[in-house]
Amino acid sequence: MFEIGLLTIIVLAGLSVVWFTLQLGISPMPSSAKATRAILAASEAAGEGAIIELGSGWGTLLFALARKYPHRRVIGYELSWLPWLYTHLYKSIFRLPNVELYRQSFLAADLSSATLLVCYLFPEGMEQLQQKLAAEHGANRLLISSTFALPASTPEQTTRLDDLYNTPIYSYQLG
Ligand SMILES: C[S@@+](CC[C@H](N)C(=O)[O-])C[C@H]1O[C@@H](n2cnc3c(N)ncnc32)[C@H](O)[C@@H]1O
């Protein structure tokens, strides 16, 4: 009986990840170690203040940022249930009080308080983000985007990773 219950939970959890992947158009694929290191290095160009991750997935980048900047608010928005739940548990177990997690679309969130925005999305998500940023009034924000560029902005800096795809990490000075 216990095994059947456990198996049901595992199957439902797996199905929820598949469902959100189909709904959102992107899986919760985590940033690689190289991408994480490059994003942490690029983040040093941002001013003090809150950091927001747009689609925080399993928290790979979120927790790396929270450890690098323990005195800054590090906020993650994630819609997919299982990664969001995992990051909640991780935050509690590893006691990272500067991390805030919201199971909410970043497209419906107020991003104006952040001095640093970080994302690893997909082309359509970058188009939606471009429209959202154009409609918002935030001053002096740095956006770091892994792999995908904003369609209508020129990055201030592009770093290419030493990996199979020479993955680009784009930095945009916004506002
Ligand atoms: C490729 S993963 C990257 C995860 C994490 N940022 C990292 O680098 O390890 C993209 C994540 O964005 C989430 N996502 C996509 N659109 C979203 C939205 N509108 N609001 C919140 N999360 C979103 C997906 O569920 C997925 O977990």
Residue whose CA is at the smallest distance from ligand 1 atom 12: 55
Residue whose CA is at the smallest distance from ligand 1 atom 1: 29
Positive or negative CA dihedral for 150, 153, 157, 163?
Answer: positive
**Residue 139's pLDDT is what?**
74
pLDDT at 34 over 80: yes
How far is Cα 71 from Cα 54, in angstroms, rounded to an integer? 20
> Which tens digit of pLDDT belongs to each residue from 86-121?
999 999 999 999 999 999 999 999 998 899 999 999
Residue 159 placed within a domain: yes
How far is Cα 101 from Cα 155, in angstroms, rounded to an integer? 28
pLDDT at 137 over 80: no
CA of residue 55 to ligand 1 center, whole Å = 3
Total domains in the chain come to 1
Residue 22 placed within a domain: no
Residue 123 placed within a domain: yes
Contact at 8 Å (CB) between 106 and 80?
no
> Which tens digit of pLDDT belongs to each residue from 55-80?
999 999 999 999 999 999 999 999 99
CA of residue 2 to ligand 1 center, whole Å = 33
Residue 108 placed within a domain: yes
Contact at 8 Å (CB) between 34 and 159?
no
Of 16, 24, 23, the closest CA to residue 125 belongs to 24
Rounded mean pLDDT, 10-24: 91
Structural domain of 85: 28-174
**Residue 13's pLDDT is what?**
87
Residue 32 placed within a domain: yes
Residue 12 placed within a domain: no
**Residue 140's pLDDT is what?**
82
Strands 114-119 and 141-146: parallel
Q: In what order do the strands lie in the sheet with 50-54?
A: 99-102, 74-77, 50-54, 114-119, 141-146, 168-174, 157-160
- CATH code where residue 89 lies: 3.40.50.150
Residue 17 placed within a domain: no
The confidence band for 136, taking pLDDT boundaries of 50, 70 and 90, is confident
The confidence band for 1, taking pLDDT boundaries of 50, 70 and 90, is confident
**Cα-only R_g, the chain:** 16
Residue 6 placed within a domain: no
Rounded mean pLDDT, 152-173: 97
Mutate to test the pocket of ligand 1, among 17, 24, 37 (most ligand atoms within 8 A of CB): 24
